[in-house]
Structure 1
Amino acid sequence: MSHIVFLLVPGVHLLDLAGPAQAFSTAADFGHPHTISYVGEQPLIPTAQALPLVARVDWPDLGPEDLIVVPGWRALALADSPAIGAATLQLLRDHHARGGTVASVCAGAEALGRAGLLDGRRCTTHHDVQDELARRYPEAMVVRDVLYTADDRVVTSAGIASGIDLALHLIATWHGPAVAAKVARDMVVYARRNGHEPQASAMLRYRSHLDDTVHRVQDLLDARFDQPLRLPALAMAVGVSERTLTRLFTRATDGLTPLRYQQALRLERAEHLISHGATVTAAARAVGFEDPRMLRRLRAAKADL
């Protein structure tokens, strides 16, 4: 039985903490128990969501098979993060030096950076602070726009919900992918995502505009991206001409036509299926391509970017 310790920092985000904790707890329900502890530098930890948490201030004895997780906290910039004592940072270093694993969610990577554990290692964090993390720790190899990284027992993940992906990855490493899949199903997680998948899907990347007509068309495409959706039908659905729809759509999405947007959705879903064992032909059919060669061309074009 391994010991999992969550280091709670003032301002901690509840989902950064609760997501991984739920995954490890669910694994225990399926016969893979872990001792879970919550440690802080003070006994009462305020959270970003105004629900105070009680933490122990003494650390349990940890060995090489044990894990320390640092959930993220609310901060507009990593430089404004809460103070973390030198003794706590030394404990993180010592645990890793003894063969233990250290992980972080979102801004929690800042704690690992202060402890010197990111130097020379691949790491990631929330997309809003990736560039700042790279500036603050130039020896770190910050990988942008991925869900999580694992490098020499230092595991880092992006923002908020990606902590669940990190936990499922660790459960798969410890107990096998079947157990991780069982935990994911029990948690009603749509799919266990690989670390290299993007933090923001195509359904989110092109939604920062304020054009209601385009949002309505995107709603249609998001829901039925695997079906033939012709421009005349889309234009009729939102009550504008084909020419007007194309003009509005390309302006709102930085140059994408509705067809290109639909292809982006199909490509992203196909890549997910392929990463989980599907063949290119099967993935192409699942996302609506009649000819797998179209999917191959889109993947090749993406690889050349």
Structure 2
Amino acid sequence: MSRVVFVLVPGVHLLDLSGPAQVFDTARDLGQPYELTYVAERELVPSAQGLTLNARTRWPATGPDDLVVVPGWRSSPPHDGPEPGPHALERLCAHHAAGGTVAGVCAGALALGRAGLLDGRRCTTHHELQDELAARHPRATVVRDVLFTADERVVTSAGIASGIDLALHLLAVRHGPALAARVARNMVVFARRNGHEPQAGVMLRHRSHPDDVVHRVQDLIDARFAEPLSLTYLALTAQVSERTLTRLFTRATGGLTPLRYQQALRLERAEHLIGQGSTVEAAAREVGFDDARMLRRLRARAL
């Protein structure tokens, strides 16, 4: 079982917290063994929106497969309000040092900075806090006008609704795009915003449409992108003709055929594997290509 620990401070923004929490809770409903835990310095935590939350004051044990998330809080100039205390910062550092992933939503990036986790890394936060983040942590690279960044198991997002984008990205990296697609569909967040960040993913970039036939076919391709999937088989599954499926799919995804969509998923997964140290040949086999020549052609085309 993987644990997701949310670190709460007084004035926490509900959507900074509830968006990512809903993503992982939905993944749990779909069969992934996630346990959600909420910690704070005091048991009662007032939110920025007036709702008081209950949290535990003792941190659970965490391992490399666990995630620690710091949701944002109400922070107005001069931004001298409550922030996570020394114990929480120590736990953030220790968790990351042990191989775990840490995430900051909105002002949560300030906490990661205070813990020393942003030095030499790319990060982002809400646009109203970006100047302050850059001033506080000059060794960090603050990326502006993006929804989220991920750099060596340190993930930050612009905040508010973008915490959902961050959490779906983490699901896609951990479990593949098919689960992230199912969670997004369950949460009715097809109209995804993705900026220019490559972490947004092929699946997320082409889910911003209401066509249920195309969503069903995408669900199938997302789950089995490494397998041969003929247009005939996809059309039979969708109970439409091949010509109709191609027309609907191309219109919904902005010009992609089902085959091109599958190739894009394979390429994205292969690039991730190569980035983790896999050879081109091994990555090609892993994502379903008979040999590496097609993968090399697709990579060259993308460049």
Q: TM-score range by the shorter chain?
A: 0.5 to 0.7
Displacement of 1:128 in angstroms is 1.0
Q: How many residues align?
A: 207
Q: Does 2:172 match 1:172? A: yes
**Structure 1 stretch displaced more, 92-101 or 187-196:** 187-196
The whole-number CA distance in structure 2 between the counterparts of 1:276 and 1:37 is 42
Q: Does 2:60 match 1:75? A: no
Equivalent residue, structure 2, for 1:105 = 105
Q: Percent identity?
A: 67
Preserved contact between residue 23 and residue 164 of structure 1 (Cα < 8 Å)? yes
Displacement of 1:76 in angstroms is 1.2
Task: Report the CA distance shift for 1:276/1:188 in structure 2 as closer, same or farther (over 3 A).
Answer: farther
Match for 1:26: what amino acid? T
Q: Deviations over 1:135-171 (max 9, x none)?
A: 1110111000000000000000002000000010011
Match for 2:145: what amino acid? D
Aligned residue runs from structure 1 range 271-282, under 5 A? none
Preserved contact between residue 184 and residue 192 of structure 1 (Cα < 8 Å)? no
**Structure 1 stretch displaced more, 142-151 or 184-193:** 184-193
Q: Does 2:101 match 1:116? A: no
Preserved contact between residue 78 and residue 107 of structure 1 (Cα < 8 Å)? no
Equivalent residue, structure 2, for 1:59 = 59
SS at match of 1:79: coil
Aligned residue runs from structure 1 range 39-58, under 5 A? 39-58=39-58
Match for 1:82: what amino acid? P
The whole-number CA distance in structure 1 between the counterparts of 2:141 and 2:2 is 29
Unaligned runs of 5+ in 1: 199-269, 280-305
State the TM-score, normalizing by the size of structure 1: 0.64
Bigger radius of gyration among the two: 1
Q: Deviations over 1:197-244 (max 9, x none)?
A: 59xxxxxxxxxxxxxxxxxxxxxxxxxxxxxxxxxxxxxxxxxxxxxx
The runs of at least 4 aligned residues of structure 1 exceeding 2 Å deviation read 190-198, 272-279
SS at match of 2:3: strand
Q: Deviations over 1:19-44 (max 9, x none)?
A: 00001000111111201100001110
Aligned residue runs from structure 1 range 234-249, under 5 A? none
Task: Report the CA distance shift for 1:16/1:35 in structure 2 as closer, same or farther (over 3 A).
Answer: same
Match for 1:28: what amino acid? R
Equivalent residue, structure 2, for 1:86 = 86
Equivalent residue, structure 1, for 2:154 = 154
The whole-number CA distance in structure 1 between the counterparts of 2:17 and 2:78 is 18
Task: Report the CA distance shift for 1:37/1:274 in structure 2 as closer, same or farther (over 3 A).
Answer: farther
SS at match of 1:64: coil
Equivalent residue, structure 2, for 1:8 = 8
Task: Report the CA distance shift for 1:32/1:74 in structure 2 as closer, same or farther (over 3 A).
Answer: same
Equivalent residue, structure 2, for 1:292 = none
Preserved contact between residue 83 and residue 111 of structure 2 (Cα < 8 Å)? no
Preserved contact between residue 127 and residue 159 of structure 1 (Cα < 8 Å)? no
SS at match of 2:128: coil
Equivalent residue, structure 2, for 1:209 = none
Equivalent residue, structure 2, for 1:27 = 27
Preserved contact between residue 105 and residue 157 of structure 1 (Cα < 8 Å)? yes
Displacement of 1:85 in angstroms is 1.7
Unaligned runs of 5+ in 2: 199-250, 261-303
Equivalent residue, structure 1, for 2:135 = 135
The whole-number CA distance in structure 2 between the counterparts of 1:137 and 1:109 is 11
SS at match of 2:91: helix
Q: Deviations over 1:113-145 (max 9, x none)?
A: 110101100000001111111011101110000
Preserved contact between residue 12 and residue 47 of structure 1 (Cα < 8 Å)? yes
Preserved contact between residue 145 and residue 195 of structure 2 (Cα < 8 Å)? no
Match for 1:180: what amino acid? A
The whole-number CA distance in structure 1 between the counterparts of 2:52 and 2:31 is 31
Preserved contact between residue 181 and residue 192 of structure 1 (Cα < 8 Å)? no
The whole-number CA distance in structure 1 between the counterparts of 2:189 and 2:57 is 33
Task: Report the CA distance shift for 1:278/1:114 in structure 2 as closer, same or farther (over 3 A).
Answer: farther
The whole-number CA distance in structure 2 between the counterparts of 1:134 and 1:34 is 34
The whole-number CA distance in structure 2 between the counterparts of 1:135 and 1:277 is 46
The whole-number CA distance in structure 1 between the counterparts of 2:255 and 2:65 is 32
Supply the RMSD in Å over aligned alpha carbons: 2.4
Preserved contact between residue 2 and residue 65 of structure 2 (Cα < 8 Å)? yes
